[in-house]
Amino acid sequence: MDKKLFRKADMIIILAVLLIAGVFLLWQYSSGDNLRAVITVDGKIVETLDLDKVTGKKVIVPDTSPKVKIVAEKGSIRFDEAECRDKLCVSRGKLYRKGDTAVCLPSKTVITITGGSVDAMTY
Amino acid sequence: MQADMKKFILPVCGALILGVVIFAVVFFGGSDVSKDIFAMDTYVNIRVKGRNAQKSADIIETLVNNLDKDVLSRQSKDSYIYQLNSENGGKSAKNMSAYFGMLFEIAQKSNGKFDFTLGALSDLWGFGKNPAVPDKKEIETVLSKCGWEKVTIEHQQISFPEGLKLDLGAAGKGIALDEIKTYLESTKIREAVISLGGSILLYGKRDYTVGIANPENSSTNFAVLTLPASCVSTSGNYERFFEEDGKRYHHILDPETGYPVDNGIVSVTVVSQNGTFSDILSTACFAMGLEDGMALAKEYNCGIVVITEGKKVYVSDDLKDSIEIRDGSYTIVE
């Protein structure tokens, strides 16, 4: 009798664990599907955005010198303006796929779309 | 009572075993550390996995900073290169002799198309500061003082004439990757991806994917390479440039003309077991042009991907199975 009860309890625990694991995996999978952009200044995260949920134009001006203006729209993000001379970050264009990265060296600002399908970018 | 005990033995043992496994994985497997820094005038991403990963990432950061400040930088007054340039030579540093050997070798093999003595010419163009097209006469004057054949190493003494400035910009990132690789081999780090401004070290026993920048939009990739442990470098005309009177001028200078290389090549990516070679060869092969560049890469058993104007892509045989084009407007030329 005792043994039977024990097995039942075991099954409940196993099912509960599986359920939690399943929910966790589902949550990971669903949030991993969205395009998420991370903006860092000198290695510190200053803004995280879900690019699938951006409505209209979202302008971000982090506290940097020289100043940079970042524009996020649904599905993409880019350096829109920079006060530095060469403006190479602006010339890098739109980021729209996982793993895309753009760097503004003078202001130490990096935009990355996380969850990249590549381990690194060579440029 | 005994029956009660038995009831608990299995779950308790299970929990203990699970605990030991988790502990072993965390302790011996180590953690995953990612660190972003700005060094060597570029953006550096350090990712390491294994035992003492955080400590290793910190050591790599120090290594890169010191290598720049003490050895490679042309601006830092304490650096080895700065001192050589200000005294037109000096003692050949032991830890640099192998790298100088490679620089001379590629300069010679590329018939001077790759030249590590164009510091003064690069300064004249103002890359990195206030770039502008210099006067033609000025270019000729400065160019006449440049040239790798004017540099001699005898009895561990480097010497070159006044006006010539060494510039290890085309090799520095690769040298740093090789130094990092040597360090990693002394640790318990299992996997690492070090990206030094687009020059990459892939370390560890697995395959990695590396995106090659799309020249038209270099924050995204046009193709992806799947590679085992190796070093990858790219030289592109989109990376450092300025525009004047509607014309684009990029930073890879032709030692023959003193102007940016203009041979139809847009970018060159080189894969090598050696970081310094991948870095030097990407610039050398860019300057040499399509056919000679691909032949040189082959001579060094390096993989190469060349993009030319018109979105044509040339891939060495060894990389043909490793490349996947992601932007359909580019076509591989067989």
pLDDT, tens digit (0-9, with 9 covering 90-100), for B274-317? 999 999 999 999 999 999 999 999 999 999 999 999 999 999 99
What lies within 8 Å, CB to CB, of B85 at 6+ separation is: B74, B119, B165, B166
Closest CA to A58 of A40, A43, A37, A41: A37
Put simply, the answer to whether A121 touches B210 (Cβ < 8 Å) is yes
Tokens 């790798």 -> residue: B148
| β-strand partners of B186 | none
Question: Per the domain annotation, does A67 fall within a domain?
Answer: yes
Q: Are residues A5 and A28 in the same domain?
A: yes
**What integer is the mean pLDDT of B4-28?**
63
Give the confidence band of B200 by pLDDT, cuts at 50, 70, 90: very high
Question: Per the domain annotation, does A61 fall within a domain?
Answer: yes
Give the confidence band of B12 by pLDDT, cuts at 50, 70, 90: low
Closest CA to B282 of B260, B255, B300: B300
Quick one: pLDDT at residue B175? 98
- Residue among A40, A78, A120 minimizing CB distance to B193: A120
Burial class (CB in 10 A: 0-12, 13-18, 19+), B164: buried
pTM, 2 dp? 0.86
Asked if residue B11 has pLDDT above 70, the reply is: no
Put simply, the answer to whether A119 touches B37 (Cβ < 8 Å) is no
Does A105 touch chain B if contact means CB atoms closer than 8 Å?
A: yes
Q: Are residues A6 and A54 in the same domain?
A: no
Put simply, the answer to whether B220 touches A97 (Cβ < 8 Å) is yes
| β-strand partners of B25 | none
Percentage of chain B lying above the pLDDT 90 cut: 84
Q: In three state form, how does the secondary structure of chain A look?
A: CHHHHHHHHHHHHHHHHHHHHHHHHHHHHHHHHCCEEEEEECCEEEEEEECCCCCCCEEECCCCCCCEEEEEECCEEEEEEECCCCCHHHHCCCECCCCCEEEECCCCEEEEECCCCCCEEEC
Closest CA to B313 of B302, B303, B325, B301: B325
Does A53 touch chain B if contact means CB atoms closer than 8 Å?
A: no
Pair B139, B254: CB distance under 8 Å: no
Question: Per the domain annotation, does A122 fall within a domain?
Answer: no
Tokens 């991403």 -> residue: B45
Question: Per the domain annotation, does A100 fall within a domain?
Answer: yes
Helix (H) / strand (E) element for B305: namely strand B303-308
Give the confidence band of B25 by pLDDT, cuts at 50, 70, 90: low
Q: Are residues A13 and A41 in the same domain?
A: no
Question: Per the domain annotation, does A120 fall within a domain?
Answer: no
Contacts of A99 in chain B (CB under 8 A): 211, 221
Q: Are residues A41 and A92 in the same domain?
A: yes
Asked if residue B159 has pLDDT above 90, the reply is: yes
Give the confidence band of B144 by pLDDT, cuts at 50, 70, 90: very high
How many Å lie between the alpha carbon of B91 and the closest alpha carbon of chain A?
34
Nearest CA in chain A to B239: A123
Q: Are residues A5 and A57 in the same domain?
A: no
Determine which of B29-43, B80-94, B96-110 has the lowest per-residue pLDDT on average.
B29-43
Put simply, the answer to whether B218 touches A123 (Cβ < 8 Å) is yes
Put simply, the answer to whether B269 touches A122 (Cβ < 8 Å) is yes
Q: How far is CA A36 from the centre of its chain?
A: 3
Q: Are residues A40 and A29 in the same domain?
A: no
Q: Are residues A98 and A39 in the same domain?
A: yes
- Domains of chain B plus CATH, in order, are 31-332 (3.10.520.10)
Q: Are residues A70 and A107 in the same domain?
A: yes
CATH assignment of the domain containing A99:
2.60.320.10
Give the confidence band of B129 by pLDDT, cuts at 50, 70, 90: confident
**What integer is the mean pLDDT of B64-89?**
96
Residue A74, Cβ neighbours under 10 Å: how many?
Answer: 13
Number of domains making up chain A: 2
Please give the residue that has the higher pLDDT: either B4 or B324.
Answer: B324
Put simply, the answer to whether B211 touches A99 (Cβ < 8 Å) is yes
Give the confidence band of B160 by pLDDT, cuts at 50, 70, 90: very high
C-alpha–C-alpha distance, residues A75 and B122, integer Å = 39
Quick one: pLDDT at residue A85? 76
C-alpha–C-alpha distance, residues B100 and B96, integer Å = 6
Q: Are residues A90 and A103 in the same domain?
A: yes
Q: Output the CA angle B296-B318-A101, nearest 5 degrees.
A: 90
Please spell the DSSP secondary structure of B32-63, one letter per residue. Answer: EEEEEEEETTEEEEEEEEETTHHHHHHHHHHH
How many Å lie between the alpha carbon of B2 and the closest alpha carbon of chain A?
13
What residue type is assigned to position B210 of the chain? Answer: V
Please give the residue that has the higher pLDDT: either B39 or A27.
Answer: B39
Quick one: pLDDT at residue B26? 53
Q: Are residues A7 and A62 in the same domain?
A: no
Q: Are residues A58 and A105 in the same domain?
A: yes
What lies within 8 Å, CB to CB, of B58 at 6+ separation is: B35
Quick one: pLDDT at residue A7? 77
Which range of residues forms the domain containing residue A1?
1-33
Put simply, the answer to whether A121 touches B239 (Cβ < 8 Å) is no
Tokens 């001579």 -> residue: B299
What lies within 8 Å, CB to CB, of A117 at 6+ separation is: A98, A99, B209, B224
Quick one: pLDDT at residue A6? 64
Percentage of chain A lying above the pLDDT 90 cut: 54
Give the confidence band of B148 by pLDDT, cuts at 50, 70, 90: very high
Burial class (CB in 10 A: 0-12, 13-18, 19+), B263: middle
Region for residue A75 given its phi and psi (left: phi exceeds 0; alpha: psi -120 to 50; beta: otherwise): left
**What integer is the mean pLDDT of B84-106?**
94
pLDDT per residue rounded down to tens, chain A (123 residues) = 455 656 777 778 888 888 887 776 666 555 557 889 999 999 899 999 999 999 999 999 999 999 999 999 999 999 999 998 778 889 888 999 888 899 999 999 999 998 777 899 999
Q: Are residues A44 and A24 in the same domain?
A: no
Does A122 touch chain B if contact means CB atoms closer than 8 Å?
A: yes
Interface of B with A (CB under 8 A): 3, 7, 11, 35-38, 41-43, 45, 130-131, 193, 195, 198-200, 202, 208-213, 216-221, 224, 232-234, 236, 238-242, 269
How many Å lie between the alpha carbon of A75 and the closest alpha carbon of chain B?
14
Question: Per the domain annotation, does A80 fall within a domain?
Answer: yes
pLDDT tens digits, one per residue of B231-273: 999 999 998 889 899 999 999 999 999 999 999 999 999 999 9
Put simply, the answer to whether B43 touches A110 (Cβ < 8 Å) is yes
Pair B32, B49: CB distance under 8 Å: yes
Sign (positive or negative) of CA dihedral B86, B91, B94, B100: positive
Quick one: pLDDT at residue B239? 86
> A2-33 and B2-29 helices cross at what angle (nearest 10)?
20
